[in-house]
Structure 1
Amino acid sequence: MNTGTTSTRRCWAEIDLAAFERNLKRIQAALPARMRYLAVVKADAYGHGMPPIVRRLMQSGVDCFAVANVAEAADIRHMGAGWPILVLSPLLPEEDHLLLEYDLTATVSTYEECLRLNALGQSHATSIKVHLKIDTGMGRLGIWHRDAPTLLAQIHALPALQLEGVYTHFSSADSDPEFTQTQRERFLAALKADAPIPENLLIHADNSAGIDTLSDDSPFNAVRIGLLQFGVPPYPDSALGRVVVEPVFSFHTRIGLIKALPRGTDISYARTHKLTRDSRIALLTAGYGDGITRELSNRGQVLIHGQRCPILGRVTMDQTIVDVTDCPQAQIGDAVVLIGKDGSQEITTTEFSEKAHTIPWETLCSVTKRVTRVYVGSREL
């Protein structure tokens, strides 16, 4: 964990663990007692750094972790035994043995995968835990919903497989409620064809972007929480999107150089910006090699001394140019906010993403490894 001064850092991200812990409390308080909390921590906990985030999730008492691959799952297992860990992506055959080595739960989509894992379990005289993924319209992972009842029956007949969950994934929870409802109905129809549903089976379709399963008569008993726990409400109109959360992630760099340039000067590669006045420009010590995407060229803004300053010209790999003509107090060494608050001004992860023509998920995952994560805040559980 990095806790030192930022005075010698060129670019860093601050992770507010106290805010993260408050978010966890609020989300858990909003969930009915029967609803399990599946904490999604793939891609290095969405760029926040897996070890500190996972430790706090463990301390908060979440029910299960979800990751993209067995390497991420192994990292969590090294932090604690006994926690259920669901691998969301398909396993390569050479990775199958790691399910036993690290006590993991696999996602299956095909009968061939089930046969392969059943043979592994039989060869070790043990059971392999699996969740069945049902494709209800995403067209990605999962057995097609019309074929799901057959595969469910086949799983039940394989002695070395232990079915622990069934789930699906909505393709357009943010933009197409009608199709989302169609997907939900397809999923429920596939489940009902396998009646009766085992009482201890985890059934999850929703994440924090599109949750709509909190009613008491719903068969759903788990929800995958990803972006929301980090203080970025994916879609405020969703049930959990109305939970008040705080930003956990902020992104910072510094001014490395200030210079005066005359009106008419072209700025950066390809001369995509020409100064319309005599200007004072600042060179920031970060670029797309750190996570300031080139899409922010001539579009993005940063905060310096609580003022918004525009990005000029193309963002380059290691530097970004901004206009500080209207911020005369700016000087070499000053901290610059790329995402976060400075005085009364704030650039949210959502705003940063919209200006970059992307989504918050990609923004957080795109802040590179050379950006030091600095963890602030004490335990408040």
Structure 2
Amino acid sequence: MAAAGLPPLPRTAWLEIDIDALSANLAALRRLAGAEVPVRPVVKADAYGHGAIPVALALEAAGADGFCVAAFDEAMDLREGGLRGPILVLYPVPAAFADEAARLDIAVAAGEGRGLAETVRVAADIDPARPLGIELEVETGLGRGGFAVAELVSAARLVADSPGVVLVGLWTHLQAAEDPAITGAQVSAFDAAVDGLAAAGIALPARHVAASAALMTDGIMAYDGVRPGLAVYGLVPDELGEAAVSGAVAAGLRPVMSLYARPVRVADLPAGTGVSYGPTFRTARPSRIATLPLGYGDGWSRGLSNRATAIVRGQRVPLVGNVAMDAVMADVTDVQGPPVDCSDEFVLLGSSGDERITAAELAQQRTTISWEVVTGMSRRLPRVYHAAAGPVGLRTLTERRG
């Protein structure tokens, strides 16, 4: 860290974010989509826990064509962090922010008539040279948001005929990209919506449908752009199965996030000792127990209690006892070589030697999905950004470098 001009870490648990893997993943997704198809990575929820500003800046440098977020303050944060490319907010933005969105060149989504009408009304005084970009979401079967196909022409005409706004996009979101029947019905509905606009004489904006799962299936549905999320970070949507994992590896996708810790205490405990709150685990023999300084306050879920493992010196060891807010314990009794001590590095997500712990494995252990595993990593975990040459950036609760 010091050699890179970075300060020491404030704690001995941290995330490492592989910038080279991030860039390689973008290139792989561009190959899947087609070289001429714009790729707009989704960097909502702090870039799925990876750190929105450093991730977005790295992706922009690697050639990303724009970005998608879920909330307007996420978009503002990216602009304040130096991002220059197009940004789309995928969820409705309060009309009071229309002027600021236009000033910052942030496009907003609309999927409901009253909200769209209010935004158009407020935007009427916006400088016509820098209008507010609006993208209309189409409800094709997800059941979550968007204009019904029958409502779309009137919504698009309202935008097209109003000052201060411009229609820049039309999109929908797939419910189950792995299911050809469901996806086929949604795509047909979306195409009908597009045809309806054309028949009404409304200029067609950019259209986009595919997120990560669609890019990893046979029917990519590139249209005028794609908006991958999970795959940007080298992860495969859980519902796609092992074949998709193999395909992702073949395509060149690599996990971007790893989680490490060094113990703050290693102690030899007698048989029958309770470990952590509860206790739900007692040593069945004299045991060497390492305390790792992270817990559910950092996003290491309590649901992993007595289920997960870590890797130390290339060997898997069980994590024992209930996960606390700030600590989890590892049973290192059987680790080969000299006794484990506080200088040893543990891998909780990532690889060491021939062993690898994946987000999908952690998700299965706590009965959730990979998205929740990575986005749940809290901001108090330091994030160290790495490239081939070593550390290039750092984000902690108190500072951001690089």
TM-score (norm. length: structure 1):
0.89
Q: 1:206 touches 1:212 (CA, 8 Å); kept in 2? A: no
Q: For 1:225, what is the secondary structure of its paired residue?
A: coil
> Aligned in 2, Cα 1:61/1:7: closer, same or farther, shift over 3 Å?
closer
- State how 1:128-277 maps to structure 2 within 5 Å: 128-174=132-178, 176-195=179-198, 201-211=205-215, 220-234=223-237, 235=240, 241=248, 243-277=251-285
Q: Does 1:111 align with 2:119?
A: no
Aligned length: 378
Task: Report the secondary structure of 1:171's partner residue.
Answer: coil
SS at match of 1:51: helix
Deviation at 1:5, TM superposition (A): 7.8
SS of structure 1 residue aligned to 2:367: coil
Match of 2:124 among 122, 125, 129: 122
Counterpart secondary structure, 2:363: helix
Q: Which amino acid counterpart does residue 152 of structure 2 have in structure 1?
A: A
Are 2:63 and 1:77 equivalent residues in the alignment? no
Distance 1:366 1:98, change over 3 A: same
The match for 2:357 among 347, 354, 372 is 347
Return the structure number with greater relative CO, CA threshold 8 A, min gap 6. 1
Unaligned residue ranges in structure 2 (runs of 5+)? 390-402
- The offset of 1:120, in angstroms, is 2.9
Contact 2:9 2:382 survives alignment (8 Å): no
Question: Structure 2 matches for 1:301-380, cutoff 5 A?
Answer: 301-328=309-336, 329-378=339-388
Give 1:160 shift. 3.6
Output the CA distance in 2 between the equivalents of 1:159 and 1:325: 71
Aligned to 2:236, what secondary structure does the other structure show?
coil
Q: CA offsets, 1:324-344, max 9 Å, x none?
A: 111153112321111011111
The runs of 5 or more residues in structure 1 that have no matched partner are none
Q: Percent identity?
A: 33
Structure 1 equivalent of residue 287 of structure 2 = 279
The offset of 1:378, in angstroms, is: 4.8
- Counterpart of 1:18 in structure 2 is 20
Alignment partners' CA distance in 2, 1:255 and 1:273: 19
| Secondary structure of the structure 2 residue equivalent to 1:193 | helix
Q: Does 1:295 align with 2:303?
A: yes
- Which residue of 1 is the match for residue 37 of structure 2? 35
2:62 paired residue among 60, 63, 77: 60
- Give the C-alpha shift of residue 214 in structure 1: 8.2
Cα separation, partners in 2 of 1:303 and 1:199, compared to 1, 3 Å: farther
C-alpha displacement of 1:28: 2.0
Report the CA distance between 1:199 and its aligned residue.
7.1
Counterpart Cα distance in 2 of 1:151 and 1:136: 16
TM-aligned CA distance change 1:125 to 1:94, over 3 Å:
closer
Secondary structure in structure 2 of the residue aligned to 1:194:
helix
Question: SS where residue 330 of structure 1 aligns?
Answer: coil
Distance 1:301 1:251 in 2: 12
| Structure-2 separation of matches of 1:167 and 1:245 | 26
**Cα RMSD, aligned residues only:** 2.8
Contact kept? 1:135, 1:143, Cα under 8 Å: yes
Aligned mates of 2:147, 2:217 — CA distance in 1: 22
Query: Aligned to 2:174, what secondary structure does the other structure show?
Result: coil
Q: Distance in 1 between matches of 2:314 and 2:99?
A: 53
Kindly provide the amino acid, as one letter, of the partner of residue 310 in structure 1: P
The letter of the residue matching 1:305 is R
Residue 203 of structure 1, CA deviation: 0.9
- SS of 1:339 mapped into structure 2: strand
Asked if the contact 1:119–1:160 (Cα under 8 Å) also holds between the matched residues in 2, the reply is no
More deviation, 293-302/229-238? 229-238
